[in-house]
A and B are shown apart, each in its own frame.
Chain A
């Protein structure tokens, strides 16, 4: 009996335990709603700085053992704040100035005061401002140096003299009621002309920059930490009426999240006062100019600052740590056409880290499978064989990046044209300079010119070759108006030589990708007239999709080549991101996706002889097999 009772109570206790477990698990399940999400939801606004800050916070939270769900980027400023309010986010980086504006308060120019106030006001609403990161990112209005000089612009007030102001801005700025575009125009008494606004998430910063540099607008609204201001030497107009308030970044957290994750407070505290405006600008330029992922840059920063252990840090995302390599030439400037290509790659492959590889012969890196994309002149697809150019590259052009012209620079006043040069300095073997020089000399039949390759990896090194005296002249392949070249020409001792006699022989036919062009007068200091020379198109190149082995794709191709061609849709996206109206030079092998579809006439109905015979033979064979299957065994 007692035995039975014990069994009974055991069963009961099991039922109880099971019931308890069920109850507990159903509670846990019920708790999986938005209110008590088991993960810390980190969001950011849709621009690089906010994404970097959010990623830093996410990484710090992860180092405290918190499971993080990233919504980086989440949306525009208003959308992100709304996300926090509606409990879609737990934390995101916000600026104290913006915080005040959201509550309809006048923003303050004094950062500390401003922070005290948001902390108090938001505290009553269930949100917590944690310690500030240590830098302020105010709005600034910028303009080109020429414009500033011409109209004598120093302060924002000076814009009043221009009449209607054409301005490029991000969409968020036009929407902000208290410290946005409208408020600023009212405060300064300016009338707005054309307003170009772009969403930051879709490469808006580049578009704003482009609009300003192209002269479409007079001023552009930017952030103080934008690396473009420095890179393009822009003039920041002084906020003389102190309209723009302080925008100090800090984590804005829901109180509920602070309770759910007791270690979150410590994680955020470790980022307090750790990031200067300079450091932020460096990080942003790593992402925007060098094309690295936000995650990788944030991780590097934390490791450098000793906030994270390098060995414990694993990079998440970004193609499993496999960067997409874009090969460019040593003279290509990231602020020039090559930069456009790198930015296009970044726009089309937003989830991959982009690695820029500088090498004398970028196209060859694609051929060897060491780079995915290359920025190369059309000349690079050809090799010089005898006195003709032969198409040898197996790569193909995916879009137009720009143009390069041959710049032949000398100090020797006795020289009048390229043919007079005795020793011509060029870049390393295989570089665009070396390559084009030999083709040009073959084209004009100047066999007397000695080509001297040098190990130059920047424009200055080329110029030094002349001053050292090893060569009479140098040949550089550069876009017209290259900034470094511009600076070096200011010296006054240098001048450019023309290429003469190109059209006299068969050169235009043999080297069709080198097209006669002129460097316009005044492109460089001290250049009085246009200089006759040759130009070549710069294209973005990738591995060829034209493969014969069992079609262009599939398991068969992995045996013959490790790199697969870039899919047609991606090629279209790249071409669109490059934004070139022009088509690829017909001399370059062009991706099939970019070629116009040929209008095919009606096909013949009758198959060719081979098809007929092969199929007939197989049909007979199959019929014979059926016969073999059903035939009776012959009697012996």
Chain B
């Protein structure tokens, strides 16, 4: 019980200390955070690249290997959420407004100035999609998938608490000894809570500013601090309301809404824009990505110093960005994946979102590249000038821009509310010793703390501090994920020893037999 308290006390204390440091010496804090991250990238770029690629390989092994049929739950459990809602929630939790933000900007950026290829050429267009898909495709979702799987397995199959430390506590205790395990567990849990808190503060701050710039773009509202604070207040009320209702209502409804609006906007761009070109580039980029996946997954540009910098600035920053979100998204995805088999989980969490992301980027990036190559042009320069303007500038080229702009604004807002809601939920879970349905009081408390931090971030103008902190958390967390994975594989090995598997199959057959007999005994009864 002490360790549970310890996590809450330590994480709150450290968050407060770092928060104060950030308010009083923002430059110093950002400097240290950035120095740590860029130092880690400079010395250990090979390890981050390798680790993330390893995650894909492990996911592949899990989905196809001997453990694929193991259920994340007891053998007789059914999935808690419908597949559509599950996928919608995966998206809202995992990528959120980032997809909207980078959908136009990233392909455009790489098209304009790709590494080692001449910009604005046909080669550049192909490279742009391959690179974008590398950053938002299998790697991103494999990282999330692995982070989620290590939790989900222990929580639903072994009835362990939903904590980041669980895999370590559960399967490494005999090897490491009780003391080391406990401290390692506390460190992992505290790191995870802080990663979620800072990550959310940063992304809520950024998101608020994005909504504000959208409002000024669409309705000409002066972008002042007051407007930002009002947006934050409205958002806080919305997500607290949603947080009170629990995952099966609030987050589910919001996520489904997100998905519908996002697909609606995508459809408008797809069918009102250069439809054939977009679909062509989707097919083409799919092939390019698949055929280059191995090559791209290991590419560090080790022989060219400036391009090595490019890898650090783009690919590796993305990858550790996803790792930084790992504790949050991992626990959230784990929470909604109860009752799926490992194979189902890997396909649902990694393949489906990746294909959807590729379609999304083909639609937005494809239309943008069409504008640049065959249309009026001028968009790439806007993207280069200010990435936040990219989306609304892009909509400016489409018929009915105002309607789409308003839809996009609503979407960004709902995405943010969803992120804040699920973030609150995850932190509450982590600080109530992994309770799957934390009580409303705790959720409200964390929600208000999160808003307060975001408020501080906005007022002190230190969005960059929160963002830098969020990314920095990824460096130590990468090592934690690796330890968790070792724990998972140890447990899986024991789970599926031949005796256990035989036992499981025998049980299943016996159940089927029983059901069959019951059905025969009472044919009029409903089959379920």
Q: Is A306 an interface residue (CB 8 A)?
A: no
In the complex, are the beta carbons of A633 and B174 less than 8 A apart?
A: yes
> A413 — which chain B residues lie within 8 A by C-beta?
none
Give chain A interface residues in 375-418, CB to chain B under 8 Å.
none
Closest to B394 in A: A320
Of A79-87, A556-564, A578-586, the one contacting chain B is A556-564
B384 touches A551 (CB 8 A): no
Is B286 interfacial (CB-CB < 8 Å)? no
Docked-complex contact A553 and B378, CB < 8 angstroms? no
A9 at interface by CB-CB < 8 Å: no
**Does A551 lie within 8 Å of B310, measured CB to CB?**
yes
- Contact of A554 with B317 at beta-carbon distance under 8 Å, contacts A317-B377, A564-B384, A614-B44 already known: yes
Which of B34-42, B158-166, B330-338, B436-444 lies at the binding interface?
Answer: B34-42
By a CB distance below 8 angstroms, the chain A residues around B253 are: none
Question: CB of B321 within 8 A of chain A?
Answer: yes
Beta-carbon contact of B309 and A555 below 8 Å: no
Q: Which residue of A lies closest to B377 (CB)?
A: A351
CB-defined contacts of B386 to chain A, threshold 8 Å: 369, 562-564
User: How many angstroms from the CA of A552 to the CA of B47 in the assembled complex?
Assistant: 22
Q: Are A320 and B378 in contact (CB under 8 A)?
A: yes
Docked Cα-Cα span, A550 to B379, in Å, equals: 25
A369–B34 CA distance with the chains assembled, in angstroms: 22
Taken together as a complex, chains A and B put the C-alpha atoms of A315 and B397 apart, in Å, by 8
Q: Are B471 and A556 in contact (CB under 8 A)?
A: yes
Q: How far is the CA of A550 from the CA of B310 in the complex (A)?
A: 9
Tell me if A73 is interfacial: C-beta within 8 Å of chain B.
no
In the bound assembly, the distance between CA atoms of A495 and B197 in angstroms comes to 67
The answer to whether B445 has its CB under 8 Å from any CB of chain A is no
Complex alpha-carbon distance, A83 and B395, angstroms:
33
B393 nearest in chain A by CB position: A320
Residues of B close to A563: CB separation below 8 A: 385-386
Give a binary string over B298-339; 1 marks a CB under 8 Å from any A CB, 0 the rest: 000000000001101110011001000000000000000000
- Say whether A317 contacts B43, CB under 8 Å: no
A555 near B314 with CB under 8 A, answer yes
Quick check: is B490 within 8 A (CB to CB) of the other chain? yes
Q: Does A629 contact B (CB under 8 A)?
A: yes
**CB <8 Å contact, A629 and B396:** no
Instruction: Judge whether B385 and A324 touch: CB under 8 Å.
Output: yes
Q: How many residues of A contact B (CB 8 A)?
A: 52
Q: Provided the pairs A553-B314, A555-B321 are in contact, do residues A320 and B382 lie with their beta carbons within 8 angstroms? A: yes
Q: Are B387 and A559 in contact, with the CB atoms below 8 A?
A: no
Query: Closest residue to B51 on the A side, CB-wise?
Result: A622
Q: Which of A555, A557, A563, A625 has the most chain B CB atoms inside 10 A of its CB?
A: A555
A320 in contact with B38 (CB, 8 Å): no
Q: A352-B382, A618-B47 are in contact. Are A550 and B376 (CB under 8 A)?
A: no
Inter-chain contact A550/B37, CB cutoff 8 Å: yes
Q: Which residues of A contact B318 (CB under 8 A)?
A: 554-555
Contact B313 A552 (CB under 8 A): yes
B482 at the interface (CB under 8 A from A): yes
Within 8 A of B (CB), among A594-636: 610-611, 614-615, 618, 621-622, 625, 628-629, 631, 633-634
Among B38, B112, B394, the residue within 8 A (CB) of A567 is: B112
Cβ B172 vs Cβ A551 within 8 A = no
Known contacts A316-B376, A555-B318, A556-B317; A321/B482 CB under 8 A: no
Question: Is B435 close to A, CB under 8 A?
Answer: no
Given the known A-B contacts A552-B313, A556-B313, A560-B464, are A320 and B395 also in contact in the complex, defined by CB atoms under 8 Å? yes
Complex CA distance for A324 and B378, rounded to whole angstroms: 10
Given known pairs A555-B102, A556-B471, the reply for A351 and B376 (CB within 8 Å) is yes
Chain A interface SS verdict (over half): loop
B483 within 8 A of A: yes
* Distance between Cα atoms of A317 and B375 in the complex (Å): 8
Question: Does chain A have a CB within 8 A of B456?
Answer: no
Query: How would residues 110 to 150 of chain B score, 1 for a CB under 8 Å from any chain A CB and 0 otherwise?
Result: 00110000010000000000000000000000000000000
For the complex formed, measure the closest distance between the CB of A599 and the CB atoms of chain B, giving whole angstroms.
14
Q: Mark B354-383, 1 if CB is under 8 A from A, else 0.
A: 000000000000000000000111110110
The answer to whether A550 and B313 touch across the interface, beta carbons within 8 angstroms, is yes
Report Cα–Cα, A567/B399, bound state, in Å.
Answer: 31
Given contacts A550-B313, A551-B309, A560-B30, contact A634 B206 (CB under 8 A): no
Residue of B nearest to A550 (CB): B317
Interchain nearest-CB distance for A182 vs B (Å): 37
Question: Which of B41, B378, B382 counts the most chain A CB atoms within 10 A?
Answer: B378
B170 within 8 A of A: no
Q: Distance (Å) between the CB of A512 and the closest chain B CB?
A: 28
Instruction: Tell whether A372 is near chain B: CB-to-CB under 8 Å.
Output: yes
A122 contacts B by Cβ under 8 Å = no
Produce 1/0 per residue, B70-90, CB < 8 A to A: 000000000000000000000
B447 within 8 A of A: no
Query: What's the least CB distance linking A470 to chain B, in Å?
Result: 36
Interface size class on chain B is 35 or more
A322 within 8 A of B: yes
**A531 in the interface (beta carbon within 8 A):** no
Q: What's the minimum C-beta distance from B435 to chain A, rounded to whole angstroms? A: 29
| Residues on A with beta carbons closer than 8 Å to the beta carbon of B394 | 320
- Closest residue of chain A to B464 (Cβ to Cβ) is A560
| Known contacts A322-B393, A548-B38, A550-B312; A558 and B387 CB within 8 A of each other | yes
| A611–B43 touching, CB < 8 Å | yes
Q: Which of B37, B113, B490 contacts A629 (CB 8 A)?
A: B490
CA distance A349 to B378 in the complex (A): 7
Which residues of chain A come closer than 8 Å to B157, judged between CB atoms? none
Give min CB distance, A73 to chain B, whole Å. 14
- Check: B202 CB closer than 8 A to any chain A CB: yes
- How close is B304's CB to chain A, nearest CB, in angstroms? 13
Flag whether B479 is at the interface (Cβ < 8 A): yes
Min distance, Cβ B228 to any Cβ of chain A, angstroms: 14
**Which residues of B have CB within 8 Å of A615?**
43-44
Q: With a CB–CB cut-off of 8 A, which chain A residues contact B310?
A: 551, 553-554
A429 shortest CB reach to chain B, Å: 24
| Contacting pair B378 A317 (CB below 8 A) | yes
Contact with B along A560-574 (1 / 0, CB 8 A): 111110110110000
CB of B349 within 8 Å of the partner chain: no
Give the distance in Å from the alpha carbon of A615 to the alpha carbon of B44 in the complex: 7
A231 interface residue per 8 A CB criterion: no
On chain B, the residues within 8 Å of A97 by CB distance are none
Please give, as numbers and ranges, the residues of chain A lying within 8 Å of B395 by CB-CB distance.
320
Separation in Å of the A591 CB from the closest CB of chain B? 14
Cβ contacts under 8 Å, B393 to chain A: 319-322
Residue in chain B with minimal CB distance to A352: B378
A320 touches B396 (CB 8 A): yes
- Kindly identify which residue among B38, B375, B381, B463 contacts A550, using a CB–CB cutoff of 8 Å: B38
Please report which residues of chain A, range 405-458, place their CB below 8 angstroms from some CB of chain B when the two chains form the complex: none
Contact A322 to B382, CB < 8 A, known contacts A550-B34, A560-B30, A628-B175: yes
Contact between chains at A629 and B486 (CB < 8 Å): yes
State whether the Cβ of A18 lies closer than 8 Å to any Cβ in chain B: no
Q: Which residues of A contact B44 (CB under 8 A)?
A: 614-615, 618
- Are A628 and B172 closer than 8 Å at their CB atoms? yes
Residues from chain A with Cβ under 8 Å of B377 in the complex:
317, 350-351
Whether, in the assembled complex, B392 has its beta carbon less than 8 Å from a beta carbon of chain A, the answer is: yes
Assembled-state Cα–Cα distance A555/B206 (Å): 13
Interface string of B164-208 (1 = CB under 8 A from A): 000000001011100000000000000000000000001000100
- List the B side residues contacting A314 at CB < 8 Å: 399, 401
Q: Is the CB of A483 closer than 8 A to any CB of chain B?
A: no
- Sample 25 A-B pairs with CB under 8 A, ordered by A number: A320-B393, A320-B394, A351-B376, A351-B377, A352-B382, A372-B385, A548-B38, A550-B471, A551-B314, A554-B317, A555-B318, A557-B313, A559-B463, A562-B386, A562-B387, A563-B386, A564-B384, A564-B387, A567-B113, A567-B384, A569-B113, A614-B44, A615-B43, A629-B486, A634-B174
Known: A320-B396, A563-B386. 6 other contacts (CB 8 A): A349-B381, A351-B381, A352-B381, A549-B30, A555-B314, A562-B388
4 residue pairs, one from A and one from B, having the closest CB atoms: A317-B376, A551-B313, A320-B396, A559-B467
